[in-house]
Structure 1
Amino acid sequence: MTWLWLNGGLVSADAARIDPADRGLTLGDGVFETMRVAHGRIVHVALHLDRLRQGAEVLMFPAPDLDRVEDALRRVVRRNDMTDGSLRLTLTRGCGPRGVMPPAHPSPTLLVTPSPPPAAPLPAARMVVSTRIRRDETSPLSRIKSLDYLPNVLARLEAAQRGGDEALMLNLAGRVAEASASTIVIQREGRLVTPPVAEGALPGIARAVLLAAGMLDEAPLDLDDLRHADGVFLTSSLSVREVASLDGVALARVPGTADAIRACVQS
């Protein structure tokens, strides 16, 4: 049996219920975090909780009690005897009346769900540049993990329709922002480079770890930067993946770089 955390306590997955009036369900009014569990430890939990706090602040939620949130995460790990896998934390504004305006004193919903590790590592990605979806680098929502994930969903669907398995989203200026669920990192002249947050890139956790370690530089990137890079990688809290091709054209690949990134962000 799988155990979740929902609104103050552990509950079996079969018994868990979300109120039909929850604004996360009806309006996407919420934020989420996905974090890796390795050897029973929640990797980079402090960074995830800080980003959760920032997302709640942007959405004008009541400030979450991060100590209680962390306790809920650890209880889910213990109750499910998790060694490796991932946790998905969802925080919504809670229930409200019909309409856009939230209640004056919301009571947020907190849900934590566990998942097992993937059966096998992902192969190198066949990435497609989305022609339908752009990242709005001017929007504060581009800087948080909002539940409104439909642009990412549509970009990934477009990639699948065109024979790819990942989508690259450009910003409104036509420069590189991010992939549908990952940070874009390139290698050139022996350094790793990623777009700045101001370009519409989500401030990812793996990205933050690489920056703090001095392994990563920030600079605006365009499609030619990816095409002429020594290697292109997708990084997230859960995986590090090479990119094999962009719009059907093979990209250069650098042996060993993905392993070095992985060693840093998954430690």
Structure 2
Amino acid sequence: MTLVLWKDGRFVAPEEPAVSVLDHGLTVGDGVFETCSVTDGRAFALGRHLRRLARSATGLGITVPDEATLRDAVDAVLARSTPETGRLRITLTAGLGPLGSARGDGPPTLMVAAGPAVRTVDARVVRLPWIRNERSAVAGLKTTSYAENAVGLAHATRHGADEGLMANTVGALCEGTASNVLVERDGELLTPHLMTGCLAGITRELLLEWALADGLPAREAEVDELPFTVLDDVLAGRTSLGLAGSIRNVVPVVGLDGQRVVPGPLTLAAQELFARRAAELVDP
């Protein structure tokens, strides 16, 4: 596995110590990140990912480097990438801080890494027993405080799935541990409203835009339109599911809670549409 790692202006080896044990991103998860798909040495939708990184950092109160600095770092890493590179990660933390929640007064830490990625054409999911807090201080921000997601994905893996789906505190369908959810029913493809607490996914955003332009009936659902119990309809065959994410793009769900489910035609059409448009535009 070939990895290219860059931190604050210099390349580092995978085994080389590069981040202080006092970095606030390590001690309390005080940081943000973005993951881009990479094809032929180019990061997909980099502009949108950088803008979301800035929004997340601003939400945490972390100083954001200018976009030229970020793009230069990405270009430097991708220039050293190999044909197997499929993923780029940009991480920005609050930098050195004390052993507690208070921040230090030093500069933020910027890291960029590139490496291989596993791509799938479908997905198997399970319902998670934990919920997303849509009223959290970091709801909708892509932070490095990812323990909830790691625990949820580990639970899904133990149950033979590759993604876990969560409700929010009021029982609405929210999101997966690393994906947005698509629900196909009544001739429409719906994705939970951002007010449910889900992340404003880049793939989700592009799919809604491209679907509108292509005449595919897809939209953001109303806040209370998709209860978590809609998954019962999936098991009953009345509804179908898809997932959207930066590495998986758009894929149909073929298994829920260990039971085989059938993808819907709109989900499959959305998969084809996204693949086609993404191949045409590297930074839409």
TM-score, normalised with respect to structure 1: 0.90
Which residue, out of 246, 256, 280, partners 1:246? 256
> 1:70–1:82: structure 2 CA closer, same or farther, 3 Å change rule?
farther
Which residue, out of 143, 148, 151, partners 1:146? 143
Equivalent pairs, count: 263
Which residue of the partner structure matches residue 226 of structure 2? 221
> 1:140–1:265: structure 2 CA closer, same or farther, 3 Å change rule?
farther
| Cα deviation 1:124-160 (Å, max 9, x = unaligned) | 32211111x2111112412111111111111122223
Which residue of the partner structure matches residue 176 of structure 1? 173
> 1:9–1:51: structure 2 CA closer, same or farther, 3 Å change rule?
same
Q: Find the aligned partners of 2:79 and 2:124 in 1 and give their Cα distance.
A: 37
Which residue of the partner structure matches residue 36 of structure 1? 37
Q: Is the 8 A contact 1:206 1:265 kept in 2?
A: no
Q: Find the aligned partners of 1:110 and 1:251 in 2 and give their Cα distance.
A: 42
Name the amino acid aligned to 1:170: A
State percent identity of aligned pairs.
Answer: 34
Which residue of the partner structure matches residue 13 of structure 2? 12
Name the amino acid aligned to 2:134: E
Displacement, 1:38? 1.4
Q: Find the aligned partners of 2:178 and 2:60 in 1 and give their Cα distance.
A: 21
Q: Find the aligned partners of 1:260 and 1:96 in 2 and give their Cα distance.
A: 46
Q: Find the aligned partners of 1:83 and 1:265 in 2 and give their Cα distance.
A: 19
What is the SS of the residue equivalent to 2:138? helix
Which residue of the partner structure matches residue 120 of structure 2? 122
Q: Find the aligned partners of 1:238 and 1:260 in 2 and give their Cα distance.
A: 16
Displacement, 1:242? 1.7
2:61 is equivalent to residue 48 of structure 1: no
Which residue of the partner structure matches residue 182 of structure 2? 185
What is the SS of the residue equivalent to 2:139? helix
Q: Is the 8 A contact 1:88 1:112 kept in 2?
A: yes
2:161 is equivalent to residue 164 of structure 1: yes
> 1:205–1:166: structure 2 CA closer, same or farther, 3 Å change rule?
same
Q: Is the 8 A contact 1:23 1:94 kept in 2?
A: yes
> 1:188–1:74: structure 2 CA closer, same or farther, 3 Å change rule?
same
Q: Is the 8 A contact 2:159 2:258 kept in 1?
A: no
Q: Is the 8 A contact 2:127 2:257 kept in 1?
A: yes
> 1:77–1:223: structure 2 CA closer, same or farther, 3 Å change rule?
same
Q: Find the aligned partners of 2:134 and 2:24 in 1 and give their Cα distance.
A: 25
Q: Is the 8 A contact 2:5 2:12 kept in 1?
A: yes
The equivalences for 1:198-217 within 5 A come to 198-213=195-210, 214=212, 215=216, 216-217=218-219
Displacement, 1:254? 2.8
> 1:74–1:244: structure 2 CA closer, same or farther, 3 Å change rule?
same
Q: Is the 8 A contact 2:85 2:114 kept in 1?
A: no
Structure 2 unaligned regions, length at least 5: none
Which residue of the partner structure matches residue 263 of structure 1? 276
Q: Find the aligned partners of 1:181 and 1:92 in 2 and give their Cα distance.
A: 20
Q: Find the aligned partners of 2:39 and 2:195 in 1 and give their Cα distance.
A: 32
What is the SS of the residue equivalent to 2:35? strand
Which residue of the partner structure matches residue 60 of structure 2? 59
Name the amino acid aligned to 1:191: E
Q: Is the 8 A contact 1:232 1:253 kept in 2?
A: yes
| Cα deviation 1:214-262 (Å, max 9, x = unaligned) | 2530113124434245431111111132211222333331353322333
Q: Is the 8 A contact 2:84 2:116 kept in 1?
A: no
Displacement, 1:111? 0.8
Q: Find the aligned partners of 2:175 and 2:166 in 1 and give their Cα distance.
A: 6
Q: Is the 8 A contact 2:3 2:115 kept in 1?
A: no
Name the amino acid aligned to 1:233: G
RMSD: 2.1
Q: Is the 8 A contact 2:117 2:247 kept in 1?
A: no
